[in-house]
Chain A
Amino acid sequence: NAGVTQTPKFQVLKTGQSMTLQCAQDMNHEYMSWYRQDPGMGLRLIHYSVGAGITDQGEVPNGYNVSRSTTEDFPLRLLSAAPSQTSVYFCASSERGGTFPYEQYFGPGTRLTVT
């Protein structure tokens, strides 16, 4: 199993550009989430999902869209990039109804810089 994969690993955008961060998992996990990590802020939840067609906003959703058409994929779209969106983005997945300790698996991250 590849686990949770994210592409690209690095990206530089100009203010106002749009792009999609890709996330895929091959563990047949229903739960998937997107986080951003900024120094001193920990990980903050952007959007999360329980399955195809079902998503909700987390703590910091502004400027981001998601859609989930399959169990495996959960792309994150930046609509109009702003310097405040410079961050490291992590995708994660976990099994619905799994056994304790309900492990959440993280991808390797995408480092995004907006100039």
Chain B
Amino acid sequence: QQQVKQSPQSLIVQKGGISIINCAYENTAFDYFPWYQQFPGKGPALLIAIRPDVSEKKEGRFTISFNKSAKQFSLHIMDSQPGDSATYFCAASRVDNYGQNFVFGPGTRLSVLP
């Protein structure tokens, strides 16, 4: 059971274009929503994150839009570059008595054409 849904599975964008990846979650107990970037052969790395009390978070070319009532959030990559070609994962997390419990989406493979 995928608690975090992510689409599209793959995305091809021209250099300079906008890349948009969408995620939806089910559990309203989640209180932290990060996006991770992963290059082949490497571990994921935190790209940008948002808390549910904020509707938008922008860092450089990367923006998260968050809709708490719809339980959806999205990543926008402006002026996409070939170096942005990677797999992107959205995630949702909550802290409990045993630690930090993360649920990841299945990932989106982004290819930015030069």
Residues of A at the B interface (CB closer than 8 Å) are: 4, 30-33, 35, 40-45, 48-50, 54-56, 58-59, 90, 92, 94, 100-104, 106-109
Contact = CB atoms under 8 A, between A and B. Distances in A.
Contacts of A59: 103
Nearest to A92: B43
Given A90-B43, A104-B46, A108-B42, A56 B98 contact: yes
Interface of B: 4, 6, 9, 32, 34, 42-46, 48-49, 51, 89, 91, 96-107
A100 B64 CA distance: 15
Contacts, number: 79
Given A43-B89, A90-B43, A50 B98 contact: yes
**Which applies to chain B's interface (DSSP): helix, strand, loop or mixed?**
strand
Given A42-B107, A102-B32, A48 B99 contact: yes
**Which applies to chain A's interface (DSSP): helix, strand, loop or mixed?**
strand
A68 to B, nearest CB: 10
Contact of A42 (B34, B48, B89, B98): B89
